[in-house]
Amino acid sequence: MMRRTVSFSKNATNIFLHVLTRCNLRCTHCYINPAQHGDGTLAPDTIERWLAALFHPKRPANLILLGGEPTLHPQLDRVVKLARDRGVASVTIDTNGYLFNNILQKVDTKAVDFFSFSLDGTTAERNDAIRGPGSFAACTAGIRAAADKGFGVSLIYTVSTRNIDELALMPALLKQLPVQRFFIQVIGLRGRSAAAKGPGPSSAALQVHEKKWKETVSSTAARIAADGIAVTFPKVYLDDDEPFECAAVASHNYFIFPNGRVYRCPLCEDFPLHSLAFRDDRLVPTDPVNEWDLVQLEIPEGCVMNRLIQPGNIRYRSDGRPAHRIACCLLKETFIP
């Protein structure tokens, strides 16, 4: 088993495309914010033109199709075909598992590399309290259905104080599911979690303490990888001798919403800080001050956007200096079996 930090790359483009913001669930930690992201559904022809604007002949593009729930898009199969015809290197569909519009029958394994499912507990009781009644059964059934069709399957677990104690139980559940990759995400204070809407703790109380994160996440990831599943999780806290690097500056990532906003840093998505936008199907820079002006700042805490938006992650010494530096939210570690 090998553990490594995944370096940012300038040799690829990662496109996180929200084809709509509508969803059949109301997860308590959902980051979608219709006031900032719009409530429309992107037409396939629009998506084709936007992909063309992002296409670079010397950089392979990885496309992640998101929502809301992307399988609610009635023409998602056409979107996949257009993307493949454009020449993207990979296509992943993130889904809550309900797999609407008969999507498994409309696309094939040569067109979609992975269906990536979201599950936030090892039991229906815990997961459904976060994601909604029936979602555990739907997700696990969707995982098996996608695997039976021959698709690559990955699973995403978003960690908060509501489910961190159950993360250690995931290795046993994953042994029962046909999953090749497992992703652990840390909750971000965006969308519904930032507003503390719905049942459950306040937004600040959802953030996992540094000690609990370090005690739980890495050891659980190692156990899962020992069973043959690749595991990826956020670095969060930089090592003492590790330099800070921002993915918005160092790599080519685009987080795109139906209203045409394009962010380079996902922590900014609750605010009109996007550095780019599609206007008349052209990708153009926005006026300052925006995320681009901010992410280039160097501060002792590491990630400037984390310091501004979710400062509860940072612990300070008695002399006012930060006790640790926060990594870019896109900096990942991985265990490879």
CATH code, domain with 8: 3.20.20.70
Residue with structure tokens 């992640």?
Answer: 64
Whether 280 is in a domain gets the answer no
pLDDT of residue 259: 98
Output the six-digit token pair for 55.
């296409």
Number of domains the chain is built from: 1
pLDDT tens-digit map of 214-224: 999 999 999 99
Residue with structure tokens 């990630």?
Answer: 303
Beta-carbon contacts of 191 under 8 Å, excluding residues fewer than 6 positions away, are 29, 30, 31, 32, 33, 269, 270
d(C-alpha 152, C-alpha 308), whole Å? 37
Strand partners, 94: 116
The list of the chain residues with pLDDT below 70 reads: 195-204
Whether 274 is in a domain gets the answer no
pLDDT of residue 188: 80
Whether 180 is in a domain gets the answer yes
Short-list 317, 307, 298, CA closest to 267: 307
Structural domain including 31 reads 2-242+328-336
Rounded to the nearest 5°, which phi and psi values hold at 83?
-65, -45
Whether 165 is in a domain gets the answer yes
d(C-alpha 277, C-alpha 49), whole Å? 13
Helix (H) or strand (E) holding 278: strand 276-279
pLDDT of residue 203: 55
Whether 319 is in a domain gets the answer no
pTM confidence score = 0.95
Helix (H) or strand (E) holding 38: none
In one letter, which amino acid is 117? Answer: F
CB of 232 within 8 A of CB of 315? no
Whether 268 is in a domain gets the answer no
pLDDT of residue 144: 98
Whether 318 is in a domain gets the answer no
Beta-carbon contacts of 45 under 8 Å, excluding residues fewer than 6 positions away, are none
Whether 296 is in a domain gets the answer no
pLDDT of residue 202: 52
Classify the C-alpha dihedral 170-171-176-179 as positive or negative: positive
Short-list 151, 13, 150, 18, CA closest to 86: 13
pLDDT of residue 197: 45
